[in-house]
Chain A
Amino acid sequence: MERMIEQIPRFFSAQNLTLLLEAAGLTLAMTLVGCLIGFGLAFVLVFLRQTPGLWALPLRWICIAYVEVFRRIPFIVVIYLVLFFIQAVTPDASLFTIAVIAICLYAVAYTADIIRGGIESVPRTQVEAAEAMNLSRLQTQLKIVLPQAWPVIVPPAIAFAVSFIKDTALVSQVGVFELTFRGKELNNQGYSGILVFGTIALCYFLLSFPLSLLGQYLEKRLGTPRGQRRARKIWRT
């Protein structure tokens, strides 16, 4: 304990703080880039999964299989799979890229179900009204269904991304210089584990908490038709 208190001034040196700040930035960047790309791809996946017709049956199966398989693999295993696969294909890929790809693959599977739930919450009759006017499937999704599904999709999607900030700690296993990795490093340099990981814990909290608040705000905002209209107006401008 005494050793820890004695270490405090040295631990919070400009050099260490910069290191931690960079690591926090990396953690956030990985999560945001991975989740945003994953979220976008999940829309494509959901759209493909709903392709009508017998000829599209294999396509639908592939989409369903992807979601069901990836949701049942531990994230750490996905990371290793991506690591070894990417290194086999392009040996000079950066670890950051590998981490983002792993996050992305995982996020697709989880957010696809969130998106599907949102889309299914829009009454079928809205789609019929659009069909009866000759709107194409894509036009119907973009103009009618998604704008209405949005309020159902956004809050849980943000909640997923926020909780995923924590899970990215696992990519420290492959040597990405994110928060947890830096923590282990500092700990190895002789700093007290309680001090180091207490600080790391605080960093994770500071990263996720504002995002959680944003999620809660959006949930409230999007929950009522009136709020939805306001939000739409804000997004449009």
Chain B
Amino acid sequence: MAHLAVNDVRAKYGALEVLKGISFSIEKGEIAALVGPSGSGKSTVLRALMGLTPVTGGHVALAGDQLDYSNAKSVRAARDRMAIVFQQYNLFQNMTVMQNLTLAPLKIKRWPRAEVESEARRLLGLVGLGDKADAYSDQLSGGQQQRVALARALALKPQILLLDEVTSALDPELVNEVLDAVGKLAAEGMTMIIVSHEMAFVREVADKVIFMDGGQIVESGEPAALFDSPRTDRARDFFSKILRH
């Protein structure tokens, strides 16, 4: 059985239906990439999974458990098992890097402090910021902030990590330091759903690429197959514009 099964999920912003029935599934250890033009609903899929955008229809099953997004307890369960990294990092400005990483593990998960702090240090080392534990976010570059955000999400020990355009807000020379960190996670077998415009990176790490347009999935498949020989005109048109070989 799939680790995460998304079935006919719908979402609305006011009267505008932004997800018109999304279905896909991923296995444990798999990496799925959502690609497509701006406004196609890629980020909304991640937001809906985290209960940040109201889900108006469909079913989501995580490790066999049905999630009901109209039920607060179920939303908590979803947020307990998945973690999201945002495009704009959204580090808590009033806290140090260390406090950002340990807040939820201490207050929400109620794990023991010693364990939480040593894990936080390990994660900061993993993203190459072992010396920044006491820094505040405005003392860090965008790339560093995004790596902290990545470590903060990992500190929650999520079953699935959601990455929402994590390199889109970064200066070009900072993109690779974040992608390297994500690549390390991929190598460790982290289950991830990533929204990205970095096609070369997607091709390298993703097991499955889902091409979206207008709130629907147009086509999905393995990266090489989808990028090189798309079956639909819309996908062919999109990839011919953004892929430079």
Binding site for B on A (CB under 8 A): 125-126, 128-135, 139, 143-144, 147-148, 225, 228-229, 232
Contact = CB atoms under 8 A, between A and B. Distances in A.
Contacts, number: 52
A130 B107 CA distance: 12
12 contacts: A126-B90, A126-B93, A128-B52, A132-B83, A133-B103, A134-B80, A135-B104, A143-B103, A144-B94, A148-B93, A225-B138, A232-B94
Interface centre among B88, B91, B107, B156 (most CB of A within 10 A): B107
Contact of B88 (A125, A144, A147): A125
Interface in B69-88: 76, 79-80, 83-84, 86, 88
Given A125-B86, A126-B93, A143-B103, A135 B108 contact: yes
B94 A148 contact: yes
B22 to A, nearest CB: 19
A176 B108 CA distance: 50
Given A125-B88, A225-B138, A131 B52 contact: yes
B76 A132 contact: no
B88 A132 contact: no
Interface in B2-26: none
Interface residues of B, number: 22
Contacts of A232: 94
Contacts of A125: 86, 88, 90
B-side interface mostly: loop
A67 B84 CA distance: 38
A139 B108 CA distance: 10
Nearest to B93: A148
A132 B93 contact: no
A139 B92 CA distance: 13
Contacts of A143: 92, 103, 107
Contacts of B104: 133-135
B136 interface: yes
Interface in B130-171: 136, 138, 156
B50 interface: yes
Contacts of A131: 51-52, 79
Nearest to A124: B90
Contact of B79 (A126, A132, A148, A228): A132
Contacts of A147: 94
